[in-house]
Structure 1
């Protein structure tokens, strides 16, 4: 097979300039491709808070609730800020553009360079989180985590090279299935809590005195929990990819993403606290939560499968 034939097979035929309009995204596809980063961070954001608090002990886990509220307040501020940026910079209000226009070229270059590093780390963290979800469901694959992660990076690269609309079409299913899976998990989990099926003794009471806790550690837990906000800026960076009216469609997509992210993050954080979930190296918090809510049945593998996909 020639190089051109292999290239055509993997990333499709070259697009003509006049086909640019066909690459514009509607709100449904845009929500999938531009919010997948932010929504997927729900799978590891709450866990990062618990990992930091675990250095003190399970007695400190009740702090995850006020920390989670702090993350939600920050999310609200970000959504309102990026909403203004979208209207002010309808050509695409990335950190570089906003910083350059308001603070100068050097500030813009620093912001742009920081985002380049951030996006590389985001791929690493997201791929690792997806691999962890897969190996949590199938422990026999634990020794092959690095190989699986590398293959997933290559797969995502190929999807993006195929073009905006094709990658959006492919990514829409995992994103919406993940949202459905977590809403199901949160709904059933809250129902079990409300009906008294979960013992209140498995978690520390709110306000419990925690010896050895420090402001620095709480701030460290908060900053780790803010990893759940990764990718919130993506929609404001890609306003030009929306169908007209681009700015209004982008704002509506941004608000929808913010609402979904807030519901999923707060739900997972609350249930992890209430069920007394303790972070483990070999199993993710979401996996433990799904196992306790559903048991190791089809619903559990549905949650883990969609988490790995997103």
Structure 2
């Protein structure tokens, strides 16, 4: 039944030879990997206004120069990541760049930050998309969390079906969103040029505003820079591109940067000219669309496409998180299960873990986007800073042909990214302080996992491992609960092993049962030794464990191996298991971690 449901949800398994068919062309890659960055124009400009409104609506004209600063940072990041794509064509992004040029700790900080950031990408994107829906239909606002969880489950399932299949579905909403915003910006600018929008809705640029300060402007700039989250995703996901992957990735990055610049500039300008103020239950884009078109078809079209891309922007996380996890897992900093491809040739373990953790975040923050964005943005600007700094070190150390312009670009990117990161900590410490807690914890966890893998490797290696102990014979202990076909089956298996000795162990709770069973056993299997362990406290595992310890001590002196053969019957239908006490499973689970004890389960399959 489970297999049928799985096949229905994610489709038939794909052969390993079909991996090439799962690569993305530039059109699909732009939709999949740029949706996060492009969707951020729906809340990035709003974050600027949320800071400026603390001084007053008269300060909204500062959103124009702040937007110019964000565009300069965008240009620096796009050019920097374009260089990273060609310098590190196998992907890995900030993690690989930082690790190779700055050292293992900066690499782990970048990798840990990005792992958390991609989880936040999913949570923020889906939360923002849900907000867009409830802005259009306020009666649905109380159900934000439930709606968000349903969307995450849908996107997770879609990604488990494979990269190309998810790209084929998600490309349409992304390009519809771009089309819708171009219409919104175009009609908005046309209305302004034709005088349909009164000029007194906004404060003229350059108007003095009391209470404004450099600190406040930097705070607004850092908040607006949240629109640049997702820029790094393409450099992480180069292996997802068709050949020649670096060139296709670089072209996709330039296209994404150009679209992001136009859309971000347009929304900031319209919000300023319309005099839009941020409100809790109505987004800035919603207000602009309503003033431009009224609450008619185009308004709902823009809100619908905005909601779709905000929700589907989570797919950037689903594309980049598994690939980053693969790089960390290959370096043995996270579990190796992240390197395993699923039925549809995607890294399904990474996809499932990402979906699960994102749902936990949605529940913990109650789907409130504004509570997640600062943590989300600072999580990505730390890797921005480290990757740009790593590239600076690379150019200074290697000095390839034409390295000086590249050095300047990366230096500017590193400086601005560092400034934004510091502003987040200075101005929103109450919201971003968890970064200072979870990053050390993540790095500590990375090192514990690495230490474990190194220790396992040393112990398993034939060159370093202690020589194996020579076994002179085998003593088999057979726990029995009665005289049945299950016990008979296991006993026959034990006899086939040519054991030195077979000991059947029965644990009765009552003395009467002990005598009755001994009589039956001696009549049925007189040649097999039976040991009864009376248990007045009705525990099977404790007396059995003590007996095994006793036998093991004596067996160890003569180099005998102790093997516990556990009889277990298997019901015909899976749900029948809940009707039985599963003593065999409990015994096996308890003995599995005992040193020098081999545990063997002998199944007996029931027919009805």
- Return structure 1 stretches of 4+ with deviation > 3 angstroms: none
Rounded to whole Å, the distance in 2 between the matches of 1:14 and 1:227 is: 39
- What is the aligned partner in structure 2 of residue 111 from structure 1? 110
Rounded to whole Å, the distance in 2 between the matches of 1:245 and 1:74 is: 28
Please tell me whether the aligned partners of residues 85 and 93 of structure 1 are also in contact (alpha carbons under 8 angstroms): no
- What is the aligned partner in structure 2 of residue 195 from structure 1? 194
Rounded to whole Å, the distance in 2 between the matches of 1:148 and 1:93 is: 33
1:264 is aligned to 2:263: yes
- What is the aligned partner in structure 2 of residue 156 from structure 1? 155
Rounded to whole Å, the distance in 1 between the matches of 2:307 and 2:11 is: 26
**TM superposition shift of 1:274:** 0.3
- What is the aligned partner in structure 2 of residue 70 from structure 1? 69
**TM superposition shift of 1:120:** 1.5
Rounded to whole Å, the distance in 1 between the matches of 2:107 and 2:209 is: 43
Greater shift after overlay, 197-206 or 207-216? 207-216
- What is the aligned partner in structure 1 of residue 33 from structure 2? 34
TM-score (norm 1): 0.98
1:147 is aligned to 2:146: yes
Greater shift after overlay, 229-238 or 117-126? 117-126
Please tell me whether the aligned partners of residues 185 and 290 of structure 1 are also in contact (alpha carbons under 8 angstroms): yes
Rounded to whole Å, the distance in 2 between the matches of 1:219 and 1:45 is: 15
**TM superposition shift of 1:14:** 2.1
Rounded to whole Å, the distance in 1 between the matches of 2:265 and 2:39 is: 14
1:248 is aligned to 2:247: yes
CA displacement, residues 251-294 of structure 1 (integer Å, 9 cap, x when unaligned): 11110000000000000000000000011111000000000011
The structure number with the bigger radius of gyration is 2
**TM superposition shift of 1:157:** 1.1
- Unaligned segments of structure 2, at least 5 residues: 310-608
Within a 5 Å distance, the mapping from 1:7-18 to structure 2 comes to 7-18=6-17
| Larger relative helix fraction | 1
**TM superposition shift of 1:117:** 1.4
**TM superposition shift of 1:15:** 2.1
Please tell me whether the aligned partners of residues 23 and 164 of structure 1 are also in contact (alpha carbons under 8 angstroms): yes
Within a 5 Å distance, the mapping from 1:1-310 to structure 2 comes to 2-310=1-309
| Larger relative strand fraction | 2
SS at match of 1:244: coil
Question: Which structure has more RCO (C-alpha within 8 Å, separation ≥ 6)?
Answer: 1
Rounded to whole Å, the distance in 1 between the matches of 2:15 and 2:105 is: 36
Rounded to whole Å, the distance in 2 between the matches of 1:10 and 1:94 is: 32
Rounded to whole Å, the distance in 2 between the matches of 1:48 and 1:16 is: 46
- What is the aligned partner in structure 1 of residue 393 from structure 2? none
Rounded to whole Å, the distance in 2 between the matches of 1:268 and 1:82 is: 25
Please tell me whether the aligned partners of residues 86 and 93 of structure 1 are also in contact (alpha carbons under 8 angstroms): no
Matched residues, number: 309
**TM superposition shift of 1:12:** 1.7
**TM superposition shift of 1:208:** 1.1
Greater shift after overlay, 76-85 or 139-148? 139-148
